[in-house]
């Protein structure tokens, strides 16, 4: 089983992108129960994923309408949610530098 760090971050994205909320929650519970040993095993199940460096993996969500950027450390079974947005928003970010930004109150 993987430990998904900052579930609250994922929930914040569910609020910001309500059309993707169910898909994000499904992703969360699928990965929470998974036992991938490396990226190749992950790729067999999630064929559209990409590994981009710094252990960052990109998941296509909702048939590639949105992208989820996470850091996956297979050795420690840890996933850290870094960023989520539409495909158009994804095209404007530096995937190796992007990170979750909390809204200012």
Sign of CA pseudo-dihedral 64, 70, 74, 78? negative
> Which tens digits make up the pLDDT trace of 33-61?
999 999 999 999 999 999 998 899 999 99
The per-residue pLDDT of the chain, averaged, comes to 92
- Give the domains, in start order, of the chain with CATH numbers: 3-90 (3.30.2310)
Contact 45, 35 (CB under 8 A): no
């Amino acid at each position: 089983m993987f430990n998904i760090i900052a579930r609250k971050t994922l929930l914040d994205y569910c609020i910001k992108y309500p059309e993707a909320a169910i898909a994000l929650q499904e992703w969360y519970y699928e990965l929470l129960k998974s036992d991938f040993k490396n990226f190749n095993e992950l790729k067999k199940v999630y064929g559209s994923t990409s590994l981009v460096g710094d252990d960052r993996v990109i998941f296509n969500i909702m048939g590639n309408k949105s992208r989820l950027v996470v850091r996956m450390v297979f050795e420690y079974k840890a996933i850290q949610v870094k960023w989520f947005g539409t495909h158009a928003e994804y095209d404007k970010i530096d995937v190796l530098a992007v990170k979750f930004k909390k809204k200012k109150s």
